[in-house]
């Protein structure tokens, strides 16, 4: 019964749909990008059990998830979401002061110069 409640870390990450392939999940684990219960893990074969907390980055977001079930297969998204409880912090608010192009299509050359100047990308005189 104990073996049924534990599963390989890379396999669980793949089943829970955090990574598109199992080899991508294994690479992130090997690179040391995942913590299990606060301890850095570097082996994809590390076991995770129900109740373990995983911390890792996905894109620009930090994900904190608690394992709810080991999973048996990579099923649909609704099945994958039942495998974990998301405890991630809310995303940081976006900077509203950053220069943005006007809505309505591609900016003109003049508008691009203004955007570049405001962003600090202007050429030296």
Going along the chain from its start, the domains and CATH numbers come out as 2-86 (3.10.290.10), 97-125 (no CATH)
Token pair belonging to 57: 């980055």
Percent over 90 (pLDDT), the chain = 54
Give the integer Cα–Cα distance in Å for 62 and 89. 8
Q: What pLDDT does 32 receive?
A: 86
Give the integer Cα–Cα distance in Å for 69 and 1. 14
Average pLDDT value over all residues in the chain: 85
Q: What pLDDT does 124 receive?
A: 55
Residue with more model confidence, 89 or 45:
45
- With b for 16 or more beta-carbon neighbours within 10 A and e for fewer, the 19-30 pattern comes to beebeebbebbe
For the stretch 67-110, pLDDT in tens is 999 989 998 999 999 999 999 888 777 666 666 666 777 888 99
Give the integer Cα–Cα distance in Å for 44 and 10. 5
Q: How many CB atoms lie within 10 A of CB 40?
A: 11
Decide if 89 contacts 60 (C-beta within 8 A): no
């Amino acid at each position: 019964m104990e073996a049924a409640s534990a599963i390989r870390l890379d396999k669980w990450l793949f089943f829970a749909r955090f990574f598109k392939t199992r080899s991508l999940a294994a690479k992130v684990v090997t690179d040391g990008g995942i913590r299990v219960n606060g301890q850095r893990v570097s082996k994809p074969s590390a076991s995770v059990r129900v109740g373990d907390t995983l911390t890792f980055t996905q894109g620009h977001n930090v994900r904190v998830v608690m394992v709810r079930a080991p999973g048996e297969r990579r099923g649909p998204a609704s099945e994958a979401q039942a495998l974990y409880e998301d405890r991630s912090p809310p995303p940081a608010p976006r900077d509203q002061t950053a220069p943005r192009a006007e809505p309505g299509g591609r900016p003109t050359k003049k508008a691009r110069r203004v955007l570049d100047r405001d962003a600090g990308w202007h050429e030296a005189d």
